[in-house]
Amino acid sequence: MTLFSAALSPAQHERALTALAEKTFDLLVIGGGINGVGIALDAASRGLSVALVEASDLASGTSSRSSKLIHGGLRYLEQYDFKLVREALHERELMVTTLAPHLVKPVGFLYPLHEKLKERTYVGAGLALYDALRGFQRALPWHKHLSQKKISEIAPSLRLDIVTGGIQYFDAQVDDARHTMMIARTAAKHGAVIATGVRCQTIIKEGKRVVGASVKVNESNEVINVKSKTTVMAAGVWTDPLYDVMGLKPGYRVRMSKGVHIVLPKSAIKSESGIILKTSVSVLFIIPWGNRWIVGTTDTDFVADRNEPLASADDVQYIIDQANRVLDPKIKVEDVLGVFAGLRPLVSTTPDSPTTKLSREHVVDRPAPGFVSIAGGKYTTYRVMAQDAVDVAVPDLRRIVPESCTATLPIVGADGYQVLKNKVETLAQEYKLSNETVTHLLERYGSLIEDIFELIIENPQLRNPISSEALNIRAEIVYAATHEGARSIDDVISRRTRLSFELGDHGASIAQEVGSLIAPVLGWSASDQKKSVNLYLDQISRQEAALKAAKPKTKSKAS
């Protein structure tokens, strides 16, 4: 018997709002990105009573706009940041093997070489160190040296006039928004109260001690004073403005760095492997993503609206120019199917240093009794960051609290995944789906695929694809609202699925149907549905307008 449910349903949302108003929590988390949900899970799994509030949707900020890689950070070796690389590689191995094997998958990268001996020796030594730093776990293959002939077979698009050979190594990739949401569901399963669409306005103090926060529910404008013994802020790029309204003095500031990625059709680059390129100041990844390529990223200071970072034509041109240094035929602006931009919250104590030089280490700050904040770090090390934040927060509870146990705690969907993977053909026949569709579902839901099958049994029409361009079926759209906390069309198209950048029209053609499928679940009227559709279509238009309006000028210094 399960004491709590992992379902983030409309009914759960209502119960969460009631709990926020009535209970006193051991720990209140502000922010529903990867760090916030990681903290909620770490604390809940230690037996603490936990609430999490998120102003928008789970992973709606940085945590849905990353390079989608779970990696050690090869370029940090050049900065001699061995501790960060070792830590990240250890976390990568844990995720691939134990914590989230249904969501985190190995991915290969080619490192093209331009010089016969010296470069191969230098890069080879770096990759040997990279492989060695992961310790004794060996979930991913060791790197291997490749000849020019082998490179031409694996990646015909690489220019053989400048590429003399290469080295292949392995990292892992993840759908970041889904992974974040699944951790939130795991936290809920262990008793955490998860409330999205709830904005923190300020903290509540008794003397110098923080004893909770005043929050506002977006839909109703209701203000709730949430009581908690300790509060942890994991607000990413919203950290500084929140600190300002709280009247607390932080021990650091957060610099925003914009990272832009472009999405290309699979046909644009002929390669069976991902590719990593060294640029003058950073690296560029060409990442396989189903029947698409994701190429990025940039790393430039950002000072505009943090609520909606938009890519410029300069950003796009920079990425294309960097990739085209080694590609033939060259990719063109017309090839770009989609673009997404995210903001990295980098910890800064020196205001003038370039963002490429800022450390990816995280910082935990305790500016007042009962209040802790965390910023910086890498997506890959979210679990370690969460553990550190909770460790700093628990002394305020003034009782013995167990150590973190998340290193051995699989997230929902992991248990039984391997067994179901061995039964793809049987499941496909039983539920009248293609083997490809069942594999797609398993890699999104793991053993929770049974929930999707139940929806199909109730309504066989839900086994049909939502678009001819994608494998996603209609049951997934309904499930996003019934179990995954989706409360708008944007939530479904941009984060529960990735159809916003996987479809040629960014999901505009399916917005109406998505609305029809989730409206009964969310209790929407016709006008509610129309409003959600229009908000999503407006969002697409703004990104397209931003790209058209900014004509490429000089080459960007992004990295």
3-state secondary structure 343-378: EEEEEECCCCCCHHHCCCCEEEEEEECCEEEEEECC
| pLDDT (0 to 100) of residue 554 | 43
Does residue 311 have a pLDDT over 80?
Answer: yes
H or E segment and range at residue 169: strand 165-173
Whether 316 contacts 551, CB under 8 Å: no
| pLDDT (0 to 100) of residue 478 | 98
Whether 68 contacts 173, CB under 8 Å: yes
The CATH number of 417-548, from 1.10.8.870, 1.10.599.10, 2.30.30.100, 2.160.20.10, is 1.10.8.870
Does residue 310 have a pLDDT over 90?
Answer: no
* pLDDT tens per residue, range 213-222: 999 999 999 9
Task: Give the mean model confidence (pLDDT) for residues 208-212.
Answer: 97
| pLDDT (0 to 100) of residue 358 | 42
Whether 160 contacts 83, CB under 8 Å: no
Whether 328 contacts 255, CB under 8 Å: no
Whether 250 contacts 367, CB under 8 Å: yes
* pLDDT tens per residue, range 125-135: 888 888 888 77
| pLDDT (0 to 100) of residue 383 | 98
| pLDDT (0 to 100) of residue 305 | 87
Does residue 463 have a pLDDT over 80?
Answer: yes
pLDDT classification of 3: cutoffs 50, 70, 90: low
Q: Which residue has the tokens 């990593």?
A: 276
Task: Find the length of the chain.
Answer: 559
The winner for highest mean pLDDT among 121-135, 168-182, 356-370 is: 168-182
Degrees to nearest 5, angle at CA 543 with 540 and 544: 85
| pLDDT (0 to 100) of residue 279 | 86
H or E segment and range at residue 173: strand 165-173
pLDDT classification of 118: cutoffs 50, 70, 90: confident
Q: Where do the structural domains in the chain lie, given as residue ranges? A: 10-63+177-252+357-408, 95-172+255-350, 417-548
| pLDDT (0 to 100) of residue 399 | 95
- Neighbouring C-alpha atoms within 13 Å toward the C-beta of 445: 26
Tell me the two tokens of residue 406. 């998340």
* pLDDT tens per residue, range 388-447: 999 999 999 999 999 999 999 999 999 999 999 999 999 999 999 999 999 999 999 999
Task: Give the mean model confidence (pLDDT) for residues 497-526.
Answer: 95
Tell me the two tokens of residue 20. 């926020």
Does residue 230 have a pLDDT over 80?
Answer: yes
101 prior amide bond cis, ω within 30: no
| pLDDT (0 to 100) of residue 100 | 98
Q: Quick one: how far is CA 317 from the chain centroid?
A: 24
Q: How far is it, in rounded angstroms, from Cα 336 to Cα 221?
A: 40
Task: Give the mean model confidence (pLDDT) for residues 45-64.
Answer: 97
| pLDDT (0 to 100) of residue 352 | 47
Q: How far is it, in rounded angstroms, from Cα 386 to Cα 99?
A: 15
- Topology (CATH) of 10-63+177-252+357-408: FAD/NAD(P)-binding domain (3.50.50)
Neighbours of 340 (CB within 10 A): 23
Q: How far is it, in rounded angstroms, from Cα 376 to Cα 358?
A: 10
CATH number of 95-172+255-350: 3.30.9.10
Tell me the backbone φ, ψ of residue 195, rounded to 5 degrees: -130, 105
* pLDDT tens per residue, range 70-110: 998 887 777 777 888 889 999 999 999 999 999 999 999 99
Task: Give the mean model confidence (pLDDT) for residues 315-326.
Answer: 94
**Global model pTM greater than 0.85:** yes
| pLDDT (0 to 100) of residue 357 | 41
Greater confidence, 311 or 438? 438
Q: How far is it, in rounded angstroms, from Cα 114 to Cα 166?
A: 8
Greater confidence, 114 or 448? 448
Q: How far is it, in rounded angstroms, from Cα 559 to Cα 550?
A: 19
Q: How far is it, in rounded angstroms, from Cα 180 to Cα 495?
A: 10
Greater confidence, 139 or 318? 318
The winner for highest mean pLDDT among 65-79, 124-138, 298-312, 380-394 is: 380-394
| Average pLDDT across the chain, whole number | 92
Does residue 526 have a pLDDT over 50?
Answer: yes
- What residues does 107 pair with on adjacent strands? 171
Greater confidence, 275 or 543? 275
Whether 486 contacts 512, CB under 8 Å: no
Axis crossing angle, helix 176-189 with helix 34-45, rounded to the nearest 10: 20
Share of the chain above pLDDT 90, in %: 76
H or E segment and range at residue 51: strand 50-54
| pLDDT (0 to 100) of residue 558 | 43
| pLDDT (0 to 100) of residue 350 | 53
pLDDT classification of 27: cutoffs 50, 70, 90: very high
Does residue 201 have a pLDDT over 80?
Answer: yes
Does residue 359 have a pLDDT over 70?
Answer: no
CA distances to 120, 155, 156, 166, 277 from 152, rounded to whole Å, are 17, 5, 5, 10, 16
Nearest CA to 194 out of 311, 363, 19, 323 is that of 19
CA distances to 107, 116, 117, 158 from 145, rounded to whole Å, are 17, 12, 12, 16
pLDDT classification of 341: cutoffs 50, 70, 90: very high
Q: Which residues of 191-219 are buried (b: 16+ CB within 10 A; e: fewer)?
A: bbbbbbbbbbeebbbeeeebbbbebbbee
